[in-house]
Amino acid sequence: MSELEGQIAVVTGASSGIGRAVCCALAQRRAVLSLVARTADALHDTRRAIASEAAAVHEYRADLTNDKDVAALTDALKADWGRVDILVHSAGLFLRGSVEEQPVADLDRLYRINVRAPYLLTQSLLPIMKGQDGGLGQIVFVNSLAGLHARAGLSQYAATKFALRALADSVRQEVRGEGIRVMSVYPGRVATPMQRAVRRMEGGAYEPASYAQPEDIADVLVNALCLPATAEVTDVSVYPFGGHGAESGGPA
C-alpha cells in the first residue's frame, strides 16, 4: 500500500505542465485527486490520463484570481471530501521585461496569481487541514529558481516568487505545531507550455530535451510528500542536468 493511498490531494495548475505531472504521480500513489484550473477541456484531459490509477478524481473549474471562485472552490472541497491532506500550489504565470519598460499592470497580474491566489487558498483551507484528527497535512508551493536568485528582465516575476517563498516560510512556522508540513520546490527550466512561452519572450528556440521534465519535478515533490512524519523537506531546488538549460537553471 502506498503512503499516500486514499489521501485527499488538491492540485492547482492541474490542467498543464508541472501541476498535471504532479496529478499523475499522485494518482500512481492511489491518492484522491481534486484538479483545479480554468480550462475545462484540459482538466478533462488530465482526468482521463489519471482516472484508472487515482483512488478518485474530481474537477474544479476556478479562476484563482477571483475571490468568489476561491470561496466556491473551498465550499465544494469541504462538501465533497470534508478534509484536505495535501495542497499543491502549481498554478502560475510568467511575464518578463526590464524595470524601465515592463508595465506595472504586468506586476499586478503576476502578483494576483503567483502570490495572492496561493495565499488566499491556503488561508481558506487551513482551518480544515488543521482540524483533522491524526495524520499529516502537507502544503507545497511550486516556486522557481527565480524565487532564490533574481536576474535582469525578471524583476516582476522574481519579486512574486520571492514573496511566495516568504509566504511558505512564514506559514511553515505558523502550522508546524499543528502537524502540517510546508515545502517549497524551486525548479529551473522545465519543458512545459510556460517554458515554451518563456523561450518565445526571450527570442530563443524551445528545446524541451534540454530542460528538466515535468515528471522530474513531480517525482521529487511526491517523494518528499512520502517522507515519514519524523522529518520534513522544507526547500528543494531542481536543476536541469546536461543540455544548455543547465546554465543556472534558466529564469523560470
Ligand X SMILES: NC(=O)c1ccc[n+]([C@@H]2O[C@H](COP(=O)([O-])OP(=O)(O)OC[C@H]3O[C@@H](n4cnc5c(N)ncnc54)[C@H](OP(=O)(O)O)[C@@H]3O)[C@@H](O)[C@H]2O)c1
Point out the residues that are catalytic.
157
101 contact partners, CB below 8 Å, separation of at least 6: none
Nearer Cβ to ligand X (135/193) = 193
Nearest to 223 by CA among 22, 33, 84: 22
Residue 11 grid cell: 492540485
Shortest CB 80 distance to ligand X, Å: 18
Nearer Cβ to ligand X (4/62) = 62
Residue 201 grid cell: 519572450
Shortest CB 111 distance to ligand X, Å: 12
Shortest CB 121 distance to ligand X, Å: 10
For 13-121, list the strands marked E by DSSP: 32-37, 56-61, 86-89
The verdict on 122 binding ligand X (CB under 6 A) reads no
Please identify, among the stretches 36-44, 103-111, 148-156, 225-233, the one whose residues bind ligand X according to the rule CB under 6 A: 36-44
Q: Which of 7, 15, 74, 122 is the binder for ligand X (CB under 6 A)? A: 15
Rounded-to-integer distance, Cα 88 and Cα 184, Å: 10
- Contact indicator for 164, 115 with CB cutoff of 8 Å: yes
Rounded-to-integer distance, Cα 110 and Cα 118, Å: 12
Q: Which of 23, 26, 37, 88 is the binder for ligand X (CB under 6 A)? A: 37
Q: What amino acid is encoded at 93 in this protein?
A: L
Q: Which of 113, 126, 140, 221 is the binder for ligand X (CB under 6 A)? A: 113
Nearer Cβ to ligand X (95/136) = 95
Please identify, among the stretches 22-30, 33-41, 49-57, 119-127, the one whose residues bind ligand X according to the rule CB under 6 A: 33-41
48 contact partners, CB below 8 Å, separation of at least 6: none
Q: List interacting residues with ligand X (CB under 6 A).
A: 12-13, 15-19, 37-39, 42, 62-65, 90-94, 113, 142, 144, 187, 189-190, 192-195, 252
